[in-house]
């Protein structure tokens, strides 16, 4: 098959994906796009990318372009994704899919009408820890899942973040904690009950009218006797960064490490606990990009040498790229297709609504 010609949109975090696409055997890094022309040219020169756009609409008009990978601020995810699908381009987009239920459903409709691949580039379902726990599940070592728990706690109170983050409703950015639970259980969220706890600075709270320091939700899964718990915090709650999930089963259980560097724990037998070293899964990838699951990959393809920060988000980045490219080449839905991505994203949106309504049960739209 011909290589998939892809453009990377947004060159902050998005720049980390450029060398992965450049080396993927079935992809061609066709162009890059950013409004800031100075940074656009700096990144373009660094990675030897000749086609550079400051206008997204002009990029989408390129008839040779097959796909886009969007890495822009959260509020732009939905409109940029919709524009790509309506222009007949395959679309990958960083999390979350959107910020409203209406936007999520519009993207699902646009994906269905276009027949193009959509993939939410959810890092949490390709971390080493998730792949390890999924292997435990698939091999029967977990047994029957009895309960699932996820958390994403991050203290963003220091200055330096883009202004839109301050006061952001915690559960509106919950897919890192929600997605591994729903993916490993093989089902979708049906309804949520969520409570807010504590208060953030009033200066932050007024931006989104979202006062809670912590939002914690219980999720009812469709056609399942299993429930999930998800906790999310962004401001005024002191804790080391934690983006985690736990799986409790009848034969064994998996718990994320409590402190970074300790390693996760597998419980088996009656109460036996074993600290495990989670392996890398680069061997599942084409050899050209397998090294990007680790930090310290050097790119000299374009007659320069630069350090590439590989291994981001638990080694997930090259796995995400490979799944997106493979789903296009194989003409199949991606692992985080629009319907799944909408459910994972709307779980958080509905949870925040529940918290603002004092724990009202909210049914997630189908």
The set of residues, in sequence order, having a beta carbon less than 8 Å from that of 216 and lying 6+ positions away, is 194, 195, 197, 229, 230, 231, 232
Give residue 250's Cα distance to chain centre. Answer: 29
pLDDT for residue 300 is more than 80: no
pLDDT for residue 304 is more than 90: no
Cα dist. 126→232, 317, 356 in Å? Answer: 20, 8, 32
Residue-wise pLDDT for 310-342, tens only, equals 567 899 999 999 999 999 999 999 999 999 999
CA distance linking residue 262 with residue 125, whole number of Å: 21
pLDDT for residue 11 is more than 50: yes
- Structure confidence at residue 308 (pLDDT): 53
- Structure confidence at residue 302 (pLDDT): 44
Q: What is the mean pLDDT of the chain?
A: 95
Residues of the chain with CATH 3.40.50.720: 4-122+315-335
- CATH topology (fold) of 125-280+345-363: Dihydrodipicolinate Reductase; domain 2 (3.30.360)
Residue-wise pLDDT for 100-140, tens only, equals 999 999 999 999 999 999 999 999 999 999 999 999 999 99
With contact defined as beta carbons under 8 Å apart, do 151 and 231 qualify?
A: yes
Residue-wise pLDDT for 72-108, tens only, equals 999 999 999 999 999 999 999 999 999 999 999 999 9
What DSSP line would sit under 319-351, residue for residue? HHHHHHHHHHHTTS--TT-HHHHHHHHHHHHHH
CA distance linking residue 6 with residue 286, whole number of Å: 18
The set of residues, in sequence order, having a beta carbon less than 8 Å from that of 102 and lying 6+ positions away, is none
Residue-wise pLDDT for 261-295, tens only, equals 999 999 999 889 999 999 999 999 999 999 999 87
- Structure confidence at residue 21 (pLDDT): 98
- CATH topology (fold) of 4-122+315-335: Rossmann fold (3.40.50)
Burial of residue 236, with CB atoms counted within 10 A of its CB: 0-12 exposed, 13-18 middle, 19 or more buried: middle
Beta bridge partners of 197: 214
CA angle, corner 243, sides to 239 and 247, nearest 5? 115
Residues of the chain with CATH 3.30.360.10: 125-280+345-363
Q: What is the pTM of this model?
A: 0.95
Task: State both tokens at 239.
Answer: 């804790």
Mean pLDDT of 143-163: 94
- Structure confidence at residue 158 (pLDDT): 86
- Provide the edge-to-edge strand list for the sheet that holds 118-120: 52-53, 27-33, 4-9, 67-70, 90-93, 118-120
Find tokens 């989408």 and name the residue.
60
Residue-wise pLDDT for 231-255, tens only, equals 999 999 999 999 999 999 999 999 9
- Structure confidence at residue 1 (pLDDT): 77
CA distance linking residue 163 with residue 29, whole number of Å: 31
Helices (H), the chain: 18-23, 37-47, 56-60, 77-86, 101-114, 128-138, 175-185, 202-208, 287-290, 312-315, 317-329, 338-356
pLDDT for residue 301 is more than 60: no
């Amino acid at each position: 098959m011909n290589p998939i010609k892809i453009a990377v949109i947004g060159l902050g975090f998005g720049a980390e994906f450029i060398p992965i696409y450049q080396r993927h055997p079935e992809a061609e890094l066709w162009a890059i796009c950013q409004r800031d022309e100075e940074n656009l040219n700096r990144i373009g020169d660094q990675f030897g990318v000749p086609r550079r756009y400051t206008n997204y609409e002009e990029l989408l008009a390129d008839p040779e372009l097959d796909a886009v990978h969007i890495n822009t601020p959260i509020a732009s995810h939905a409109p940029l994704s919709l524009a790509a699908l309506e222009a007949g381009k395959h679309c990958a987009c960083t999390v979350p899919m959107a910020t409203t239920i209406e936007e999520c459903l519009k993207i699902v409709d646009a994906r269905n009408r276009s027949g193009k691949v959509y993939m939410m580039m959810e890092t949490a379902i390709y971390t080493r820890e998730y792949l390890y726990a999924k292997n435990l599940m698939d091999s029967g070592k977990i047994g029957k899942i009895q309960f699932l728990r996820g958390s994403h706690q991050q203290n963003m109170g220091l200055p330096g973040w883009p202004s839109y983050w301050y006061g952001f409703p915690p559960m509106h950015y919950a897919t890192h904690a929600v997605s591994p639970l729903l993916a490993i259980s093989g089902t979708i969220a049906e309804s949520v009950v969520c409570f807010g706890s504590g208060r953030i600075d009033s200066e932050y709270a007024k931006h989104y009218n979202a006062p809670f320091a912590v939002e914690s939700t219980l999720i009812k899964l469709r056609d399942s006797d299993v429930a999930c718990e998800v906790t999310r915090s962004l401001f005024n709650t002191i804790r080391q960064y934690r983006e985690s999930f736990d799986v409790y089963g009848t034969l064994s259980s998996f718990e994320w490490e409590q402190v970074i560097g300790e390693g996760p724990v597998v419980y088996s037998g009656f109460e036996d606990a074993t600290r495990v070293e989670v392996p890398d899964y680069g061997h599942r990838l084409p050899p050209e990009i397998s090294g990007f699951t680790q930090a310290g990959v050097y790119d000299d393809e374009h007659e320069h040498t630069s350090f590439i920060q590989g291994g981001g988000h638990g080694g997930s980045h090259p796995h995400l790229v490979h799944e997106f490219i493979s789903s296009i080449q194989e003409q199949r839905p991606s692992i985080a297709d629009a319907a799944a991505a909408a459910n994972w994203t709307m779980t958080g949106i509905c949870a925040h609504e529940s918290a603002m309504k004092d724990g009202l049960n909210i049914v997630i739209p189908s």
